[in-house]
Structure 1
Amino acid sequence: MAWGGNDGAIDRWVKQLQENDPKLKSLHILSFRRVSAADLGRIFNAIGTNTVLEELYISGHALNVTVMDQLSEALTINETLHTLNLGTSTFGSDIDVFGLFCEGLAANEGLRKLDLENKGLLCNKQDKYRAIYLFAEALAKNKHLEELNLTRNELDDRAMEILAPALTGLLRINLGINNIQKLGAKAIAEQILVPSSKVEEMELSENPLLEGASLIAAALGNATKLRVLKLVDVVSDQSDFTALTPPALGNSTKLEDDDAEKNNKKADEKRIKYGSALASAIGQSLIKNKTVTHLWLDNNAIDSRALQSITDNLLESNVIELKLRQNLLNDEAACSLASAASHRLKHLELGENSIGPKGFGMLMDSQLNYLGLFNNAVGGFGADPANVPELLTSRIQRLDIGCNKITHEDVAAIADLLLKQGVPELKVLEMGGNVQDTEYEQWEETIARILAQREDLDIIWKRRPDQIDSTKPPVL
């Protein structure tokens, strides 16, 4: 792999490309490096006949008509370049330049992955959607591209109505952090989430889908090839997640403000309405869909009652990974998920909910391999051993219970459990953000006792150096 940075690099790269140097399979020209249009043209001309280079990253470099014509020509000839990332944040504003790129893309037979994150595809002031039309036409002609990243392009409903029919031949699509709403979601549901589509992975996170989220979820039942669906934070207005937090007076104040804003967002009635509709539609789709294996539903105001629609049908699904961070889930949801985790579900992420000791115990006594409970309310289980079963058949291999107000009493209960061979397959235990200074030595002694007998266990519990109060003497 070559990265831009040294004097004479351009000449060396051109020579390597022309001679098909087997060492130059990846070329990344850093965005802050100054490269003239003439030098870019030399590189593109050499790529045209090269049969070794597989990856080219030139994001952040402005491309004029002359240079783009050379790259477009190279794309029509070259069949070994598999990954391409190019253009600036205004790439889509110059139709002459972008049009030439689309011509090369349409004829290309080598590219498998195209990254156009933050390329201003709707920036043209004369004709807002002209670049989208050209791009859709190129995609429709290209039969070899497999993966496309279009995040952060402010794509709206009209853009998706134009693009959706041209995306069905791809395997992986990332449409996150755009402005797709109900009509755009409808176009995706009707064009992409259908049996004839080849799409296996799709991300729509951080779009203001609102009611459109349930349209996507309902269409999941018809998506016979889709394996991965990411719908993180899709029941919020766009302003909710693009507005910047005002400068805080201090770190503690900022953390408190962030927590308050997060809690207000989670509890918003409109979000709960759309989150419930999303969960209900997902649950119904799982009755029919047997291909989806990974579902990301973080930060969608899904409460325990709404989640029941998913857990009712999770057991017979093929879902392996389920992410539900930052929702409104409590012990009731945890118990339902624990019952549904006795089949194929292996990875469950429930960080930043309201799971308590009872739900924690139920989830631990399951067939899950990974359980994420960061920043919940599981602390205090040590006071009542009944909260944690013997767990002799637990399949948990990695557990995250960081920031749960866990005390040394809880750690002692964990030690008793682990030393009696409970959770026999546990390899990683994350407990950062719990220990108080007054209990530090007790934690250290108890954890040392655990590790003396469970040598294959990695316990992560100490605070990072930036979290330690420098005004207090170190614990020796």
Structure 2
Amino acid sequence: MVWGGNDGAVDRWVKQLEEDDPKLVSLHILSFRKITTTELGRIFQAIGTNTHLHDLYVSGHLLDASCIDHLSESLTLNDTLKTLNLGNSSFGENAHVFGLFCEGLAANEGLIKLDLENKGLLSNEENKYQVAHLLAKCLTKNNTLQELNLARNELDDTAIEILAPAMTRLLKINLSMNNIGEQGAHAIAKQLIENASSKVQELELSDNGLLAGASVLASALENNKSLRSLKLVDVVSTEMELSELPPAAMEEGDNKLDEDDDAKKTDETRTLHGNALARALGQALETNKTLSHLCLDNNGIESKALDELAQHLSTSAITELKLRRNRIDDDGALLLSKMNKLRHLELGENGIGAKGFGALLDTELHYLGLFGNAIGGFGADPSLLPELSNSQIKRLDIGCNRIIHQDLEAMVEVLLKNGVPGLSLLEMGGNVEDKEMEQWEVTMSRLLAERKMDIVWKRKPTDMDNSVPPPM
């Protein structure tokens, strides 16, 4: 793998490519490295007869007609290259340059993954949708491509109506962080979900203002037999997720972003669409037996909207469900605790308390994420924490949950009596206060002396990254 280089690096890469060096299987030229279009053209030309390079990453670099012409010709000859990421945010401005690339892509018989994230695909001032038409045309001709990333291109409903019919043979599609609305959602539902010839297995539509279109997508799943993973994070609002703005956008002492974000969380229109989405998914899962991974973070979904979803989860193929940052309380937790096929459940930053916590622990889940809820207080009532001898949980995240030492003691008693017998990782950071630190130290030492597991508990809430749940 090559990530950059000193002077003479381009000559060395070209030599390796031309001599078909079996050691050069991946070439990653960092965006901040200075490289001319002429040098890129030499690299692209050398790829034509190479049989060992699998991955080429030249994202962030300016491309012109000359170097792309070399790449296009190489793509018609080379069937070894598998992944390609190229161009900067102005790649889509020049339809002629992009068209040359599409000519090579249409004829290529080896590429599997194409990453065109943030390439300005609608930035052509003369004809806004010309590049979309060019890409759609070549996708219909290419028979090997399986994965396509079109995130962050400001794609709108019209662009999606152009592209969707050409993407049915793909297996994995990322359309997140665009400008897709209800009309675009209808096109996706018709072409990529309801269409019996669609092969799409993974679909990412997060951070688009689908609004009522989110429910249309969910309903389309009823007879779908190909989709395995669907990500619909923050799709019931047209506002940007304020928590993702850079800190520099906020003046010192200004809490406007926090106030606006809180308002977004409790917006009733948002919740109306979020609840409709959850109910539509519940109805679709009555017959859909293929979808296994479902992500619905940050959609204002309430517990009352989970009835139908919970009812059909047990007979569906869903093993992973993410509902982070919604409006789910103990009632919703109790519904979800009855779903015996779920193995990974993420409910961080909701409103779940001690009662819901106890119910969710006593399940066949392998991972339970409850970061940023309010489960503290179960130590005062032993009935809230059952013996849990049949719990299947292996990883548990209860960071930032107002857990005090009394709660910790109650949990340790259960664990020392072989409750949650398979637990290997316990994350509890952001709970202990300085005044209880010594007590926690003693109790944790007692637990670790008898139970072998990894425990993370000393971090303060301000030290924790609460934006991303733990990886699988």
TM-score strictly above 0.5: yes
Aligned to 2:46: 46
Please name the residue that 2:454 is paired with.
Answer: 458
Distance 2:461 2:178 in 1: 37
In 2, Cα distance between equivalents of 1:238 and 1:267: 13
The equivalent of 2:122 in structure 1 is 122
What residue number does 1:428 align with?
425
Paired residues of 1:179 and 1:238 also in contact (CA < 8 A): no
Note if contact 1:55-1:84 (Cα within 8 Å) is conserved in structure 2. Answer: yes
The alignment partner of 2:337 has SS state of helix
Q: What corresponds to 2:171 in structure 1?
A: 171
Q: Is the 8 A contact 2:54 2:82 kept in 1?
A: yes
**Structure-to-structure mapping, 1:101-140, within 5 angstroms:** 101-140=101-140
Q: Which residue identity is paired with 2:457? A: W
Question: What is aligned with 1:261?
Answer: 260
Q: Deviations over 1:421-466 (max 9, x none)?
A: 10000000000111101111111111111111112x0001111798
Alignment of structure 1 residues 69-468 onto 2, 5 Å: 69-194=69-194, 195-239=196-240, 246-250=249-253, 254=255, 259-340=258-339, 342=340, 344-455=341-452, 457-463=453-459, 467=463
The runs of 5 or more residues in structure 1 that have no matched partner are: 469-476
Alignment-mate amino acid for residue 227 of structure 2 = L
Q: Distance in 2 between matches of 1:243 and 1:183?
A: 27
In structure 1, C-alpha distance between the alignment counterparts of 2:328 and 2:70, rounded to whole Å: 55
**Using the alignment, how far apart are the partners of 1:299 and 1:151 within structure 2?**
19
SS in 2 for 1:56: strand
Q: In 1, are the aligned partners of 2:430 and 2:461 still within 8 Å (CA)? A: no
Could you tell me which residue of structure 2 aligns to residue 472 of structure 1? Answer: none
Instruction: Say whether the 8 Å CA contact 1:307–1:333 is kept in structure 2.
Output: yes
Aligned to 2:21: 21
The verdict on how the C-alpha distance between 1:466 and 1:7 changes in structure 2, with shifts beyond 3 A counting, is: farther
Q: Which runs of 4+ in 1 moved over 6 A?
A: 242-245
State the shift of 1:21 in Å.
1.0
Deviation per residue, 1:232-282 (Å, 9 max, x gap) = 0000014565877751425xx65xx55543332121110011011101110
Distance 1:405 1:465 in 2: 10
Match of residue 469 from structure 2: none
**Residues 207 and 238, structure 1, Cα contact 8 Å, conserved in 2:** no
Please say if residues 50 and 78 of structure 1, whose CA atoms lie closer than 8 Å, have aligned partners that are also in contact.
yes
Deviations 1:91-132 (A, max 9, x none): 001011100000000000010000000000000000000000
2:24 and 2:52 in contact (8 A); partners too:
yes
Deviations 1:262-309 (A, max 9, x none): 332121110011011101110010011100000000011110001112
Q: CA deviation at 1:86?
A: 0.2
Q: How far apart are the structure 2 equivalents of 1:52 and 1:369?
A: 40
* Distance in 1 between residues matched to 2:413 and 2:2, nearest whole Å: 53
Aligned counterparts of 1:366 and 1:351: Cα–Cα separation in 2? 17
Structure 2 unaligned blocks of 5 or more = 465-472
Count matched residues: 461
Q: Is the 8 A contact 2:53 2:80 kept in 1?
A: yes
Q: SS at 2:114's partner residue? A: strand
User: 2-side partners of 1:175 and 1:458: how far apart?
Assistant: 37
Quick check: 1:62 aligned with 2:59? no
RMSD across aligned positions (CA): 1.6
1:299-347 Cα offsets, whole Å, 9 max, x none, are 111100011121011111010000000100000000000012x2x2100
Structure 1 pair 243–407 and aligned structure 2 pair: CA distance change class (3 A): closer
2:79 and 2:329 map into 1 onto residues whose CA distance is 53
C-alpha deviation, 1:22, in angstroms: 1.2
State which drifts further: 70-79 or 258-267. Answer: 258-267
Query: What is the distance in 1 between the residues matched to 2:302 and 2:207?
Result: 19
Q: Identical aligned pairs, as a percentage?
A: 59
Worse-superposed segment, 131-140 or 404-413: 404-413
1:351/1:373 contact within 8 Å kept? yes
Structure 1, 443-452 or 146-155: larger mean CA deviation: 443-452
My pick for the range that moved more, 406-415 or 326-335, is 406-415
Distance in 2 (CA, whole Å) between partners of 1:383 and 1:114 is: 55
Q: Distance in 2 between matches of 1:103 and 1:84?
A: 15
SS at match of 1:93: coil
Q: Post-superposition shift, 1:414? A: 1.2
| Cα distance in 2, alignment partners of residues 197 and 240 from structure 1 | 31
